[in-house]
Amino acid sequence: MKLTRLALAGAAALALVFGALPLPAEEAGKSEEDWKNMKKEAKQEQVWATANGAREQLLKENPKAKELFEKAYGWAAFDNLKLGFFFSGGGGKGVAVNKKTGHKTYMGMGSAGFGLSFGGKKYQVIFLFQDSKTFKNFVEKGWEATADASAAAGKAGAGAQTNFVNGLAIYQLDTKGLMASIDLAGTKYFVDKDLN
C-alpha cells in the first residue's frame, strides 16, 4: 500500500515537473506562455541560435572535438534543463544538421526516471555523427540514451572523447564549459513535429 502511494505521489510529482518545465530554448525572461505564442519561424531561430552557440563553444574549447567535427557527416545540439526531486525529469529543444546539405531537423528531448537528485541543472549536449547511417537513424527513428551509451561516451571524460564510439561523439557543456562526465541515461531524442 505504501509503495502504491509512493508511486502515485512520484507520478504526480513528475507530472508537475513536466507541466511546469520551462522550455530551455526560450530567451531569458520569457515564459512558457510567451514561447507557445511565438510563430514557428521565431522558435526555429531561437533553437538554432542556442544550438549553434553550443557547437561554436565546443569547437573553440576542444581541439579534438573540432577535429572530429571536420570529419563528421552531421551534428546536433540540444539545450536541456533537468530538474530533480525524488523523480528526475528534464526536457529541451535542439536541432540536427546535415553538414553536406545544411538541412536542419528540429528535435525535442525528454527524460524521466527515478533518482535521488535535487535541484536543477541546465546543460547542453552536442552530438557529432560519423556517417550518414548514424545521423539518419538518430533523426528518423529517434534515439534513447542507455547507461551503456553514457558510459561509452563518458569513459574518458566528457571533454576528452578522442574518437567516434558506435558512430557518435557526445559532449556536454554547462555554464562553466565542458562537463567532467556524461549523464544521458534515460534521455530520449525525437523529431519535434511542431517545429518542422
* Residues 97-137 pLDDT 10s: 999 999 999 999 887 554 444 455 678 899 999 999 999 99
pLDDT at 37 over 70: yes
Greater confidence (97 vs 181) lies with 97
Q: What nine digits make up the cell of 91?
A: 526536457
Residue 161 pLDDT > 80:
no
Residue (of 156, 188, 152, 146) closest to 167 by Cα position: 152
Q: Give pTM, 2 decimals.
A: 0.74
Domain that holds residue 126: 2-191
Please check whether residue 92 is in contact with residue 109, taking contact to mean a CB–CB distance below 8 angstroms: yes
The pLDDT score that the predictor gives to residue 184 is: 73
**Number of domains into which the chain is organized:** 1
pLDDT of residue 66: 94
Average pLDDT estimate for 180-195:
81
Specify if 196 maps to a domain.
Answer: no
pLDDT of residue 51: 95
Q: How far apart are CA 124 and CA 142, in angstroms?
A: 18
Mean pLDDT of the chain: 75
Tell me how far CA of residue 164 lies from CA of 88, 119, 145, 148, 161, in angstroms: 29, 32, 16, 15, 8
Q: Which grid cell sits at 70? A: 571536420
C-alpha closest to that of 98 among 127, 124, 66, 76: 76
Q: Please report the pLDDT score of residue 89 as a whole number.
A: 53
Q: Secondary structure of 98-156 in the HEC alphabet?
A: ECCCCCEEEEEEEEEEECCCCEEEEEEEEEEECCHHHHHHHHHHCEECCHHHHHHHHCC
Report which DSSP code applies to 160: -
At 110, the amino acid letter reads G
**Average pLDDT of span 182-194:** 83
CB–CB of 125/107 below 8 Å? no
Round to whole Å and give the CA distance between 25 and 185: 21
Q: Is the pLDDT score of 42 beyond 80?
A: yes
